[in-house]
């Protein structure tokens, strides 16, 4: 028996929607009306110009994720929805982190950590650096926790985007829109 409580788990949902104004509002409004919280969301166009992919991370177990999927499927603009199996997906997130730099030794240490995490320094100022890190949410968290002691001036994370591994796709055919 799994002792993890429903609200301590995360579920990753991939949704294909019509790529037009107001769809993000309708999806987020459905979450609001039903009392579900979005932990992370990323939205962008797909290989089909009339469709967009939403990758939504929610806090909850399979039952809660199933309820979210059921509600999403009721929206006319939603083409396809699936709960992604974390073991069968490639997940990535991007973070930009502005870090306080008080002296050259700290600057070198931050640069070393950035290299270890395969990040990039994208901006250098006299008293700060902006680091770009791409990877799994766990990698983002590990980097942020490691450099927190230097002083994080600003932090921006994109939210998770994900695709199923192999040939599996969320939709087999695209309906005419």
What's the pLDDT tens digit per position in 86-117?
A: 889 899 999 999 999 999 999 999 999 999 99
- Shared-domain flag, residues 80 and 150: no
- Shared-domain flag, residues 94 and 61: no
Q: Which residues of 1-15 are buried (b: 16+ CB within 10 A; e: fewer)?
A: eeeeeeeeebbbbbb
- Shared-domain flag, residues 69 and 116: no
Give pLDDT, residue 177: 44
Contact 9, 59 (CB under 8 A): yes
The domain that contains 156 carries what CATH number?
3.30.70.1150
| Whether residue 6 has pLDDT greater than 90 | no
CA distance 167 to 83: 16
Q: Which residues of 45-57 are buried (b: 16+ CB within 10 A; e: fewer)?
A: ebeeeebbbbbbb
Contact 61, 9 (CB under 8 A): yes
- Shared-domain flag, residues 94 and 75: no
pLDDT > 90: percent of the chain: 72
Phi first, then psi: what are they for 141, rounded to 5°? -60, -40
- Shared-domain flag, residues 140 and 118: yes
Owning domain of residue 155? 90-161
User: Of 67, 84, 101, which residue is a domain's last?
Assistant: 84
- Shared-domain flag, residues 12 and 71: yes
| Whether residue 46 has pLDDT greater than 70 | yes
Phi first, then psi: what are they for 155, rounded to 5°? -145, 135
Model confidence at 1, pLDDT cuts 50, 70, 90, reads very low
CA distance 15 to 127: 42
Instruction: Tell whether 169 is covered by a domain.
Output: no
- H or E stretch covering 106: helix 104-116
Model confidence at 72, pLDDT cuts 50, 70, 90, reads very high
Instruction: Tell whether 150 is covered by a domain.
Output: yes
Helix (H, G, I), strand (E, B) or coil at 49: coil
Number of domains in the chain: 2
Pair of tokens at residue 149: 């002691």
């Amino acid at each position: 028996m799994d002792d993890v409580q429903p609200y301590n788990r995360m579920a990753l949902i991939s949704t294909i929607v019509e790529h037009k104004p107001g769809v993000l509002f309708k999806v987020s409004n459905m979450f609001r009306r039903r009392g579900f919280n979005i932990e992370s969301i990323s939205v962008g166009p797909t290989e089909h110009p009339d469709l967009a992919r939403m990758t939504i991370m929610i806090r909850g177990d399979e039952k809660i994720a199933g309820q979210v999927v059921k509600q999403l499927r009721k929206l006319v603009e939603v083409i396809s929805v699936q709960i992604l199996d974390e073991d069968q997906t490639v997940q990535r997130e991007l973070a930009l982190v502005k870090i306080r730099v008080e002296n050259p030794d700290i600057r070198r240490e931050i640069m070393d950590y950035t290299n270890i995490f395969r990040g990039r320094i994208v901006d250098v100022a006299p008293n700060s650096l902006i680091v770009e890190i791409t990877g799994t949410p766990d990698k983002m968290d590990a980097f942020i926790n490691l450099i927190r002691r230097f002083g994080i001036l600003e932090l921006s994370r994109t939210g998770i985007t994900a695709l199923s591994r192999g040939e599996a796709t969320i939709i087999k055919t695209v309906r005419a829109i």
